[in-house]
Structure 1
Amino acid sequence: MEQLINYLLQFGHLNPQQIALIKSKTVLKTTPKDAYYHEAGRIPREVIFLTAGIMRVCYYNNKGDEITKYFIGENNFVADVNSYNQGIPSTEYIQAITDCEYFVLSKTAMEELSLTIIGWDAIVAKITAKAMAEKVNRISPMMTEDATERYLMYLNNFPTLANSIPLSYVASYLGITQSSLSRIRKSVSGRQKK
Structure 2
Amino acid sequence: MKPFLHYILQFGHLNQQQIDLITSKAIEQELPKDAYFSEAGKVAKQVGFVVEGVMRVCYYNNKGEEITKYFIEENNLVVDLESFDTGICSSAYVQAVTDCKLIIFNKKEWQELLDTIVGWETIVHKVISKALIQKVERRSPLVTEDATERYLKFLEIYPNAVNRIPLAYIASYLGITQSSLSRIRKNIT
Structure 1 length normalisation: TM-score?
Answer: 0.96
3-state DSSP class of the match of 1:13? coil
Please name the residue that 2:125 is paired with.
125
3-state DSSP class of the match of 2:164? coil
> What are the equivalent positions in structure 2 for 1:43-62 lying under 5 Å apart?
43-62=43-62
RMSD in angstroms over aligned alpha carbons? Answer: 0.7
Give the gaps of 5 or more residues in structure 1: 190-194
Q: 2 CA distance for matches of 1:51 and 1:7?
A: 11
> What are the equivalent positions in structure 2 for 1:7-156 lying under 5 Å apart?
7-156=7-156
Question: Structure 1, residues 53-93: CA drift from partner, whole Å, max 9, x if none?
Answer: 11111000000000011111111100111111111000101
Q: 2 CA distance for matches of 1:37 and 1:14?
A: 28
Identity %: 57
Please name the residue that 2:174 is paired with.
174
Q: 1 CA distance for matches of 2:110 and 2:139?
A: 29
Equivalent residue pairs, number: 189
1:3 aligns with 2:3: yes
Q: 1 CA distance for matches of 2:111 and 2:57?
A: 25
Question: Structure 1, residues 122-168: CA drift from partner, whole Å, max 9, x if none?
Answer: 00000000000001111111111110110001000000000111001
Q: 2 CA distance for matches of 1:110 and 1:37?
A: 16
Q: 1 CA distance for matches of 2:37 and 2:126?
A: 25
Using the TM superposition, give the Cα deviation of residue 108 of structure 1 relative to its aligned residue in structure 2, in angstroms.
Answer: 1.1
3-state DSSP class of the match of 1:160? coil
Structure 2 length normalisation: TM-score?
Answer: 0.98
3-state DSSP class of the match of 1:163? helix
Instruction: List structure 1 segments (4+ residues) > 2 angstroms apart after TM superposition.
Output: none
Q: 1 CA distance for matches of 2:22 and 2:106?
A: 11
Give the gaps of 5 or more residues in structure 2: none
